[in-house]
């Protein structure tokens, strides 16, 4: 493993201004984005400074910034410093740009709530779904292994980590003050061997679980994965739409699109169904972790604007994170989350580049890439691809094609267990020459009675931009090399 014991000293001596920007980009979140002073890396193994030369397909977890995104964040920081700091208008600009890039009506920008991470968004949505009810919220969701470790805690109204965006410490698992802790009902989306369960079976269990929760009398939240860490979508949009039509305001539907592997048209379709839609700029688009946004549909915006926020959420939100007109703003600290703003600035730089590409050419390359990865996985006996789930819920376009490719790894004695896969993952990203960065291992089933985890190769927006600017063959060859190196390391 590379010796980085003097990383902090060399970094500061080389570029003090970049060092200060790095600190800002890692601020305003929880302990997951804190940078290790010895390595300059966060919990995901990524820094917030460009790292050229990596064979990186890790956008399903986190990415290192591109030079362009880092420069965009630096320029925005300089502007804010010359203007005397961040203001509400600066956060509004993030909302307006994000809305425009998704092709949504300009008025939608007034219904976008910003948050440090996807997990923070789940905590906010749980509070909104609870409404004025004094009864605990019941959430129905897919297996948490497919979304995030802290998501079930957040949906239950509990603290999901030990760090707080505005400083201070918390006790993970502790209920937020003045809130009755909620309950979470989870639905299996994979068979014991890791194969995706039939969509019809998942939908049936979701419908039954929601019906039981509704009969209980309290508020109910349905979380729809679209897509998950491994590319699953569950339950179906049709299932969620039926449930929403049947139960009205008694049921809130959240589309967890935090991977943001959706076209703007697909986001609009989900909003039109009356669903909240959560996205981040740090997965498909390759911005720095964390940057979250919640689109509130017009149909329930008026009700949610008037709804007060639980006091405990003041530990996670700043006033300017919320758009004007929301009662929640009055309970929040009169401040701006500069780190969040700069992270979104970096992510929007990547979004601009991606959305400038011709849609048909994007879909063409995504399909070509998916076929190339499938061929490479089939040619490596040490790698066992996990078959994709039910057909995508997208209505055509590039987001109807898989961009996350999970696979199990075989060693001399068979499929590697979770501990061995984690060790392999660390080994690959720590290589002195030609490091390989894949998505973090995800628990995906059992083999021979032992828990197994999948690695994930994920196509990101930056890869597509590079390909369509003349690097098509280079991007595909880099993916093939990543898989080849992984297979050789497993068989060593």
pLDDT cut 70: percent of the chain above it: 95
CA dist., res. 441 & res. 9, Å (int)? 32
Structure tokens given for 324: 């004007």
Architecture (CATH level 2) of domain 88-348: 3-Layer(aba) Sandwich (3.40)
Q: Is 189 left (phi over 0), alpha (psi -120 to 50) or beta?
A: alpha
Identify which of 16-30, 292-306, 383-397 has the greatest average pLDDT. 292-306
Counting Cα atoms < 13 Å in the Cβ hemisphere of 385 gives: 19
User: Residue 79: CB partners within 8 Å, gap ≥ 6?
Assistant: none
In 367-435, the DSSP E strands lie at 383-385, 404-411, 414-415
CA dist., res. 453 & res. 436, Å (int)? 18
**Residue 391 confidence (pLDDT):** 44
Sequence-separated contacts (24+) of 420-426 with Cβ below 8 Å: 421/452, 421/453, 421/454, 421/455, 422/453, 424/455, 424/486, 424/489, 424/490, 425/455
The continuous run of DSSP H or E covering 256 comes out as: strand 251-256
- The widest CA-to-CA distance across the chain, in whole angstroms, is 63
Q: How confident is the model at residue 301 (pLDDT cuts 50, 70, 90)?
A: very high
pLDDT at residue 212 is higher than 90: yes
Work out whether strand 404-411 and strand 55-57 pair parallel, antiparallel, or are unpaired: unpaired
Q: How confident is the model at residue 335 (pLDDT cuts 50, 70, 90)?
A: confident
pLDDT digits (tens, 9 = 90+) for 121-147: 999 999 999 987 878 999 999 999 999
How far CA 32 is from CA of 39, 41, 49, 65, 438, in Å, comes to 14, 10, 16, 16, 18
Would the CA dihedral through 456, 462, 468, 469 be positive or negative? Answer: negative
**Residue 254 confidence (pLDDT):** 98
pLDDT digits (tens, 9 = 90+) for 425-483: 999 998 888 899 999 999 999 998 899 999 999 999 999 999 999 999 999 999 999 99
The continuous run of DSSP H or E covering 208 comes out as: helix 199-215
Say if CB 28 and CB 342 are below 8 A apart: no
Token look-up 């499929």 returns 415
pLDDT digits (tens, 9 = 90+) for 141-181: 999 999 988 999 999 999 999 999 988 899 999 999 877 88
Selected residue with higher pLDDT from 403 and 38? 403
pTM of the model: 0.94
pLDDT at residue 14 is higher than 60: no
191-213: b or e for each residue (b if 16 or more CB lie within 10 Å)? eeebebbebeebbebbbebbeeb
CA dist., res. 9 & res. 250, Å (int)? 56
């Amino acid at each position: 493993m590379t010796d980085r014991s003097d990383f902090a000293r060399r970094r500061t001596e080389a570029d003090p201004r970049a060092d200060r920007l790095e600190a800002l980009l890692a601020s305003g979140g929880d302990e997951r984005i804190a940078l290790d002073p010895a390595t300059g890396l966060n919990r995901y193994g990524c820094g917030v400074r460009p790292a050229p030369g990596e064979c990186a397909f890790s956008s399903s977890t986190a990415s290192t910034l591109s030079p362009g995104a880092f420069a965009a964040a630096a320029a925005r920081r300089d502007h804010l410093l010359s203007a005397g700091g961040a203001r509400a208008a600066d956060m509004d600009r993030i909302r307006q740009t994000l809305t425009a890039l998704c092709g949504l009506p300009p008025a939608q920008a007034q219904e976008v709530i910003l948050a440090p991470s996807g997990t923070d968004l789940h905590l906010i949505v749980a509070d909104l779904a609870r409404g004025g009810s004094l009864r605990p919220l019941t959430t129905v969701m897919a297996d948490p292994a497919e979304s995030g470790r802290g998501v079930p805690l957040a949906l239950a109204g509990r603290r999901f980590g030990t760090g707080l965006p505005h400083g201070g410490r918390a006790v993970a698992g502790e209920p937020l003050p003045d809130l009755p802790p909620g309950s979470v009902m989870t639905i299996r989306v994979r068979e014991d061997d890791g194969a995706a369960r039939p969509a019809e079976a998942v939908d049936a269990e979701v419908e039954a679980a929601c019906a039981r929760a509704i009969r209980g009398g309290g508020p109910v939240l349905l979380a729809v994965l679209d897509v998950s860490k491994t590319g699953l979508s569950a339950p179906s949009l049709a299932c969620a739409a039926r449930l929403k039509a049947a139960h009205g305001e008694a049921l809130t539907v959240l589309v967890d699109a935090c991977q943001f592997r959706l076209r703007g048209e697909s986001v609009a379709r989900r909003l039109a169904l009356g669903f909240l839609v959560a996205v981040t700029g740090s997965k498909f688009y390759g911005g720095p972790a964390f940057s979250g946004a919640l689109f509130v549909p017009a149909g329930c915006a008026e009700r949610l604007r008037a709804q007060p926020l639980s006091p405990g959420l003041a530990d996670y939100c700043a006033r300017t994170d919320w758009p004007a007109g929301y009662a929640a703003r009055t309970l929040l600290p009169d401040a701006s989350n500069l780190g969040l703003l700069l992270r979104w600035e970096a992510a929007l730089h990547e979004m601009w580049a991606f959305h400038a590409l011709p849609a048909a050419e994007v879909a063409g390359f995504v399909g070509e890439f998916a076929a190339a990865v499938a061929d490479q996985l089939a040619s490596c006996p040490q790698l066992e691809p996990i078959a994709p789930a039910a057909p995508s819920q997208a209505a055509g376009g590039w987001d109807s094609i898989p961009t996350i490719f999970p696979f199990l790894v075989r060693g001399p004695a068979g499929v590697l267990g979770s501990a061995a896969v984690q060790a392999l993952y660390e080994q690959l990203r720590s290589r002195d020459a030609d490091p390989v960065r894949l998505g973090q291992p995800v628990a995906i089933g059992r083999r021979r009675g032992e828990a197994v985890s999948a690695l994930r190769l994920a196509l990101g927006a930056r890869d597509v931009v590079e390909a369509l600017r003349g690097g098509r063959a280079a991007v595909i060859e880099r993916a093939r090399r990543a898989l080849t190196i992984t297979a050789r390391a497993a068989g060593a």
